[in-house]
Structure 1
Amino acid sequence: MLTGRDGLLAEARTALVRASGVVLVGPAGVGRTALARAVVADLPSRLFGEAWITATEASKEVPFGALGRLLNGGHPSLHPALVHHTVLAALHERCGRGRTPVLVVDDAHLLDGPSAGVLLGLVQARVVRALVTARSGVPAPDAVVALWKDVELSRLFVPALTEDAVGALAEQRLSGPVSRTTTQLLWQWTGGLPQLVVALIDHGREVGSLVRDTDQWRWRAPLAVPAQVADLLDRELDRVGRPGEDALAAMALGGPLPLSVVEAAASPELIADLEQLGMVRSEQSDDQILVRLRHPMLGAAVRRRMSPARRRRVSAALLASAPPAATRGPHAMASALWAVHAGQPVGSAELIRSASLCLYADPAASEQLARRARERGGGAPAAVALAAALVEQGRTAEAYEALVAAQRAAEAADDRGAQVTVRVALARHRAWVGREPRQAYDDLLRIHADAEAAGDTAGRAEAASAAVVVQLFSGQAARALHGARELLAESPPPAGQLRVTLASVAALVLTGRTAEAARVGRAAVAAVERAGSSALPLARGMAGAALAFAELWREPTPTGPVTDPAAGRWPMPNDPLVSGLSHTAWPVFDGYAQRISGDRAGAISRLRDAVAQQADGEGLFRSEAAGWLAITLAEDGHPDEAEAVLREHPVDAVTLVPGLRPWATAAVAAAAGQRSRAARLMDEAIVIAHASGCWLVELGYLIYAAHLDPVAGPSRYADRIAEALGHVDAERLVTAGRAVIALAGRNPSVLLEHAHRLLDVNMTGEALKLVDEVTRHAGTSDSTRLFVALRTRLRAAAPGDPAVAAGLTARETQIAGFAARGLSDREIADQLVLSVRTVQTHLGRAYRKLAVTSRRELSDALRLVG
């Protein structure tokens, strides 16, 4: 069965069995031939026999060339009037008497005219069934077109695969789960064309670009053109000629470009022809039309064929045509590279800015620009830009050496401004690469003091703004907020002001003031949009991410930040991407948001991506990605895997969330049945959050700790939750906190109201915890019956929960999990403060639902449903 083609397969088969035939039309590489083979294989062999002919460029030049195999001794000497009957006789001979002939004509758009006429005549006479494939967007003989226009054969368009179908194909090909980001890359790189998808997968596995990482297959390399499809793409490019390839080269060098810019390399008529051929596509973006290649793999093929002369010529044309005011979009990022390729002089300042513009989209290009800037006297800023590009590529030792060399040069020249710039960069390197934020903070304090003593206002502001960010990522949100407010009162330079403002948004959220955070975040987003060309992509992306973080706990379905799937470590603005790809959700935020909403399976998938992405580069959110993944895995019944995540990707000193390490460890302990240890660890996390002034984090920890012991926990933590609620205005978390307080009262009707409130704010997981605890003590009241009905509805909407697949309740899943790990009934009862009889009752129900009879079978069954 072909992946993603079930509907088409059934429709084509029906057209062949019940009518005269079907024509499968689609672009090159979409799998028309494979679909035709599957259709034929699906026909009952006792009723139908098939004969194949394939049209080619060579056969097109010879009358009846495509029918040669059916013309018994050669077509050149056969009179045209006899061809129809000769072909029909050959079909009956090949297919067998008593069976209906099915004539399969592959690539019918390449049929010579006489062969196409014979095909049409056979179909019109209803003496054969025809299964025809033809390429869309190219001319076909009139007789082929008549098959669906006049004879009314079913004409089925074979589309590219959907993203989900590409994921299914990849998992089938690799015999294992594939990360969501890798699926998105394969889909976008290939345009969903199965032939290209399979070739890219096979190539990636062969050369090591596809690796098994965090229990998923993941693509970890730039896009390449596999040898299997290079010839196919080269043939397509050969057909467009030199002017057409120049136009394609323009888009390959600059990503999606305004139509006015592309027209510098090609006439409007040629661009229209390329669009008709399906090689490019256009789209409306704001007030301009953008033109892009059909898919990025085509761009890679164009760049592979591009000679230095063509690159120089096309780059010069692009430079000449790009309007100076066009400061957004890929052509703004690529303009300095165009100048380099065109051999035109570029100043070091422009090179440095361009290196910053393309740092995250194309770090290799950023390195090239930064090195050129350093060669042209760019000094300390060029060295800092070069170090950033090297870090982004994982070459951290080279980055450090570049900064140290720049520091020596600045000291030798007695250039105080350059010294401050490099010293701040070294401190940031120590924080994010060395993972020593507290030591980096001390370094920045010394730089600040030296600048203040020297009367260097700019240097003082640069060090202070960097110190605020480092303090924030040391889990000291309240102190970072205080420092940010002090610095903002002094009106620092624009870059520092934006950096500190964004840090203050995150700090406000962590300390519980989400309304103020949202207000400041919206103002920051508006400011960077007004700044236009002066705001770097990362600044604009981080502004959007900060606002999304503020709205996460306020809106049931917040709008999350987006990123480039090929470089997903950082949030990006919603501009067209230089890679030619479309934006996707930022995994680290998307995974956390799905976890809050109760979608564990979705959260785990996205957080796996986030862990892999944050492991490289600066990895500002490395701890959050690993910690949240481990917690969600543990909650989903996978403590061993969660523990492995923390072992391989430990939560370190660089973290926004204070107490994250003990929280993650507590989650693993709870999932392993170590309830007392989990409670101690959560108390430790609560103390850390409280000491940091992070009321929102503390409230989250209190709620989590209360649910660890559903019998005594709500009463134990109710007063502290009530106190924290007075400091937090995050509606979703406040709703969850009030529900825990209500749980301590055990009033079913009140708890039912709280469950519905949790659903209103899209916290299905918290609602499910609540109803599970109430139904565990279910009586016969109307309220408890309503709870049972609500629990059934919630479980039906929670596909990621392992309990769902087998119909287990949360308590049955919990007890079954402990039993599968070898705990006795008495040990489970002690852990959960239950009677042994209650444990045995729940365990017996789990055995029946899973159709097992022993703890050994139980372990295997839970792995299957989980």
Structure 2
Amino acid sequence: MAVKRFIGREAELARMKAALRGDAVGVVLAGQFGIGKSKLAQAFVDWAESNRYATQWALATRSTATVPFGALASVDTSLDNLVLRVDDAHLLDEASAELLYELAMGHTAFVVLTVQRGVPAPDMVTKLITHERMVVVDVPALSQPEVDRLLADELDGHVDTVTMARIATVCGGNPLFISELLTAGREFGALRMSHSGWTWTGPLRVNTRLTELVGLRLADLSEEQLTVTRLLALGEPLDVKLLRRLTSVETVDEMLGRELIVVDQSGETTLAHPVYAEVIASQIGPVRKRMLLRKLAEALAATGARRRDDALRLAIWRLESGPSAADDGASRELVDGARRARALFDHHAVERLTRASLTCGGGFLATVLLGDALYWQGRHAEAAEVLRLEPPRQATSEELMEWATVCSSNDFWGFADLERAENVLRVAESRLAACPERERVTAHRASLQAFAGLIGDAVATAEGMLESATDDEARLRALSVAVPAWAHNGRPAYAAEVGEQGMARFGHLLEVRPLLIGELVAGQAFACLWAGQTDTALQLATTGYQHVVQARDHDLRGIWATLLGRIELARGQVESARRHLREAVSLLRPNNREGFLSWALSGLAVAAASVRDLAEATAAITQAQQHSRAPARIFDSDLALAVAWIAAQSGELTRARRLAMACADDAEYPLPEMLALHCALRCGADCGPRLAHAATKVDGRFATVLVKQALGQDCAAEFGAMGLFLYAAETATQARKPQAAKDWLARCEGANSPILRRNTALTSREQEIAELTAHGLAAREVAAKLELSTRTVTNHLASVYSKLGVTGREALRTLL
């Protein structure tokens, strides 16, 4: 599959053009195999031709290298203003290399060379490349945005986020490898169009063409050098000292000199490109693979396996190198590896290691870890079966805590049974004396209460732990629950402040409990948003999102993308929100982790409706209702308001107001009530006094400004200062300040709302009938929706036509 168009490289191309206009004798494009050097050279030559330069092209190969002047034999050097492009100049024969040097130094031709890094070149080519009047242009891997553009271009459509990340990781920004991997995916039927775009299912597989391409790069390696590549393909990254002990110092240094392997600042060694590992590993036979893995495991064990990920690597290598003795040592090794895999959210690895541990006498902790792995994979019935027995009498405090946490989570999220989950926690508490593990079990109860929508109970439990707990981890767990719960309970400003203090207090737990720290930061971002500190909220969410992207944790990335999209949505940045929420939906769909899929889908529905994409909005809200998980009542209000907003954007303002007011009536806590009333106000409800009263029960700048809006005051500048640009545009519109409204709306990425569409020449009833008519409804359909007679609708519509100076439905649709 050929790359369809030139992606990126604008800066490199600009340097080449400047070199031709200046006093340089040529440029050399240096980079990895397949990185796009030839394509960049061709783009430059095309530009040169369009600027009246003569051009010639030569390709050096291993075959032409055996013939004097073989590569340059057909080049016409008599042309004026000659630009000579030579691909793979490192493969030139000596005579061609000398001629090339003379052409450049004699100004007969401006030479454009492509060379592959780490490959020896003839002396005259090296002399030319290093000449002070040659411009060396390093051609790097494509950036992530450029990879995204390339994938979208090659596949002619949206690419699932997980698929995009997997391809980018394996191909490392190499355009040729990306193109060939996509071809392989289609050949094997692994790359298919799904509801979330192009999706790769199953393992990434390489085809014959990709294997041949990598084979060209790895040609002429000795057996010792091939052993280095095989060890790295199976075990990278490897400590360079360990690799040298397994092979030899000389061999590793030779590979580094040829740039076939790289070593980072910490001494970790990898193959020069991720796809090399895929190709090389696919060619290692099962017997040799077991032998090499056993060699790796023994060498790592001899070092003491002291680094953070060594326990996992050692366990995996032991498991894959073949049967081992069924003893306590082997079981402990596998459990230690499973615990590290769990910390990295690699639930499939946890399952493999714990099942293997249980076959060689693994204890109760292995059983709990297996149940946890099944729970996170959404296999709740299997997890329940594994965890069905209560802990043995000799279970440690840690094992009791782990069992209670996993079992109660599975009961709550898998079977929507809060009562049974609470019973599990009580059993554990009754068997645990006063200790850190008991405090952590109680803090977990607060988390389940919060997700169940029992905000008051969650606050009481969390605050009790914050006052009495002595264990920092238990206090951190409690605080990560308390911060968003306080926000729901009308104290977002207080929650944001305490959350910031908590980060300073518990930051030392980041290495050992990154998930809990992440939950606290997410809660703080949520509190900051509704306290009116939206810049801080956006910064926190962006940082959290970027962290999980780098960690390649797709489950957590889905949650952070949801939070980031929700914050962008509140700020009026609806297209940015739609992009992140689509990503979140794609990531969360497989497991619906902690019920966040419904929250992501309802947010996507609001974002789509805000740009009047009612087809996507309707599809998203339907899916949100289907995926709404019974125990997660905390998201119910957002789901209901999304339905109301879609109604408003569809022109059904009466229904929208009714739905939003019902949501406010059902709200049990101050923040959801205030947000529901604000939605109703934006849909035209006469609820200003009630909103003003509700906002007084919520602290923070946002609530203070809402009071002013509810009382009819112009507070557009204050909304804008908080980063709430759509609200600012709406308020400026109501204040009849069209230029200010236009300025704020320019920052809203095409957002639309009932207030912005409101025509002051029409009554509210006329406006609604006009919008429904513009959406294509006949008079009788409008009458049915609004519970009016068809005659009344027709009369109102005649008044609309008269006031707006239009004569029919098409003109009305165009105007609105």
Going from structure 1 to structure 2, the CA distance change for 1:415 and 1:719 (only over 3 Å counts) comes to: same
Matched-pair contact (CA < 8 Å) for 2:695–2:706: yes
Matched-pair contact (CA < 8 Å) for 1:257–1:331: no
Letter in 1 for 2:360: R
Which of residues 564, 586, 590 in structure 2 aligns to 1:612? 586
CA positional deviation for 1:801? 3.7
Can you list the C-alpha shifts for 1:794-850, whole angstroms capped at 9, x where unaligned?
A: 3333335479xxxx96558x999755521479999998x9986996699889x9xxx
What residue is the counterpart of 1:641 in the other structure? Answer: 616
Give the distance between the partners of 2:529 and 2:336, measured in 1 at CA: 33
What residue is the counterpart of 1:152 in the other structure? Answer: 133
Can you list the C-alpha shifts for 1:341-391, whole angstroms capped at 9, x where unaligned?
A: 576974545533532432354333222212122223334432332233234
Going from structure 1 to structure 2, the CA distance change for 1:259 and 1:564 (only over 3 Å counts) comes to: farther
Which of residues 353, 360, 364 in structure 1 aligns to 2:348? 364
Letter in 1 for 2:491: R
Query: What is the RMSD of the two structures over their aligned residues, measured on CA atoms?
Result: 4.5
What residue is the counterpart of 1:507 in the other structure? Answer: 485
What residue is the counterpart of 2:789 in the other structure? Answer: none
CA positional deviation for 1:634? 1.6
What residue is the counterpart of 2:727 in the other structure? Answer: 766
Aligned residues: 771
Give the distance between the partners of 1:336 and 1:282, measured in 2 at CA: 24
Q: Does 1:382 align with 2:366?
A: yes
CA positional deviation for 1:446? 3.0
Letter in 2 for 1:110: L
What residue is the counterpart of 1:792 in the other structure? Answer: 742
Can you list the C-alpha shifts for 1:143-164, whole angstroms capped at 9, x where unaligned?
A: 2244455483554333322222
Letter in 2 for 1:312: R
Matched-pair contact (CA < 8 Å) for 1:473–1:655: yes
What residue is the counterpart of 1:603 in the other structure? Answer: 577
What residue is the counterpart of 2:71 in the other structure? Answer: 66
CA positional deviation for 1:296? 3.6
Q: Does 1:441 align with 2:418?
A: yes
Matched-pair contact (CA < 8 Å) for 2:160–2:586: no
Secondary structure of the residue aligned to 1:317 is helix
Which of residues 36, 41, 51 in structure 1 aligns to 2:41? 36
Secondary structure of the residue aligned to 1:822 is coil
Question: 1:698-717 alignment to 2 at 5 Å?
Answer: 698-709=673-684, 713=685, 716-717=686-687
Going from structure 1 to structure 2, the CA distance change for 1:543 and 1:639 (only over 3 Å counts) comes to: same
What residue is the counterpart of 1:373 in the other structure? Answer: 357
Can you list the C-alpha shifts for 1:104-151, whole angstroms capped at 9, x where unaligned?
A: 321001212221112222334444453322223444333224445548
Give the distance between the partners of 2:373 and 2:507, measured in 1 at CA: 25
CA positional deviation for 1:758? 2.2
Secondary structure of the residue aligned to 2:140 is coil
What residue is the counterpart of 2:145 in the other structure? Answer: 164
Question: 1:108-507 alignment to 2 at 5 Å?
Answer: 108-147=89-128, 149-150=130-131, 152-178=133-159, 182-214=163-195, 216-219=197-200, 221-237=202-218, 277-279=258-260, 294-305=272-283, 307-321=289-303, 324=306, 326-327=307-308, 330-331=309-310, 333-340=312-319, 346=329, 348=331, 351-359=334-342, 360-393=344-377, 396=379, 400-407=381-388, 425-434=406-415, 436=416, 440-448=417-425, 464-487=442-465, 491=469, 498-507=476-485
CA positional deviation for 1:195? 0.9
What residue is the counterpart of 2:548 in the other structure? Answer: 563
Give the distance between the partners of 1:376 and 1:492, measured in 2 at CA: 38
Letter in 1 for 2:40: L
What residue is the counterpart of 1:720 in the other structure? Answer: 690
User: Structure 2: 5+ residue runs without aligned partners?
Assistant: 760-766, 787-792
Letter in 2 for 1:136: R
CA positional deviation for 1:563? 1.0
Matched-pair contact (CA < 8 Å) for 1:541–1:570: no
Can you list the C-alpha shifts for 1:386-420, whole angstroms capped at 9, x where unaligned?
A: 233234445x1xx5235414525969x99899899
Going from structure 1 to structure 2, the CA distance change for 1:556 and 1:840 (only over 3 Å counts) comes to: farther
Give the distance between the partners of 2:407 and 2:803, measured in 1 at CA: 58
Secondary structure of the residue aligned to 1:586 is helix
What residue is the counterpart of 2:709 in the other structure? Answer: 740
- TM-score, with length taken from structure 2: 0.80
Going from structure 1 to structure 2, the CA distance change for 1:261 and 1:148 (only over 3 Å counts) comes to: closer
Going from structure 1 to structure 2, the CA distance change for 1:741 and 1:199 (only over 3 Å counts) comes to: same
Matched-pair contact (CA < 8 Å) for 1:25–1:136: yes
Q: Does 1:23 align with 2:28?
A: yes
Give the distance between the partners of 2:434 and 2:330, measured in 1 at CA: 27
Q: Does 1:652 align with 2:629?
A: yes
CA positional deviation for 1:602? 0.9
Q: Does 1:664 align with 2:677?
A: no
Matched-pair contact (CA < 8 Å) for 1:50–1:102: yes
Matched-pair contact (CA < 8 Å) for 2:26–2:133: no
Going from structure 1 to structure 2, the CA distance change for 1:140 and 1:609 (only over 3 Å counts) comes to: same
Greater Cα offset, 9-18 or 587-596: 9-18
Matched-pair contact (CA < 8 Å) for 1:505–1:547: yes
Matched-pair contact (CA < 8 Å) for 1:703–1:736: no
Greater Cα offset, 506-515 or 151-160: 151-160
Which of residues 516, 521, 541 in structure 2 aligns to 1:539? 516
Letter in 1 for 2:548: T
Greater Cα offset, 657-666 or 482-491: 482-491
Going from structure 1 to structure 2, the CA distance change for 1:444 and 1:666 (only over 3 Å counts) comes to: same
Give the distance between the partners of 2:25 and 2:414, measured in 1 at CA: 67
Matched-pair contact (CA < 8 Å) for 1:160–1:191: yes
Matched-pair contact (CA < 8 Å) for 1:623–1:655: no
Give the distance between the partners of 1:137 and 1:455, measured in 2 at CA: 61
Which of residues 5, 8, 29 in structure 2 aligns to 1:4? 8
Q: 1 or 2 for the larger relative contact order (CA 8 Å, sep ≥6)?
A: 1
CA positional deviation for 1:601? 0.7
CA positional deviation for 1:219? 4.8
User: Structure 1: 5+ residue runs without aligned partners?
Assistant: 71-86, 93-97, 573-583, 746-750, 776-783
Going from structure 1 to structure 2, the CA distance change for 1:457 and 1:124 (only over 3 Å counts) comes to: closer
Matched-pair contact (CA < 8 Å) for 1:568–1:586: no
Matched-pair contact (CA < 8 Å) for 2:606–2:617: yes
Give the distance between the partners of 2:442 and 2:17, measured in 1 at CA: 70
Going from structure 1 to structure 2, the CA distance change for 1:237 and 1:636 (only over 3 Å counts) comes to: same
Going from structure 1 to structure 2, the CA distance change for 1:266 and 1:495 (only over 3 Å counts) comes to: farther
CA positional deviation for 1:222? 5.0
Going from structure 1 to structure 2, the CA distance change for 1:519 and 1:372 (only over 3 Å counts) comes to: farther
Can you list the C-alpha shifts for 1:504-538, whole angstroms capped at 9, x where unaligned?
A: 233123223335434554565566653577x3443
Going from structure 1 to structure 2, the CA distance change for 1:589 and 1:406 (only over 3 Å counts) comes to: closer
CA positional deviation for 1:605? 0.8
Letter in 2 for 1:4: G
Secondary structure of the residue aligned to 2:61 is coil
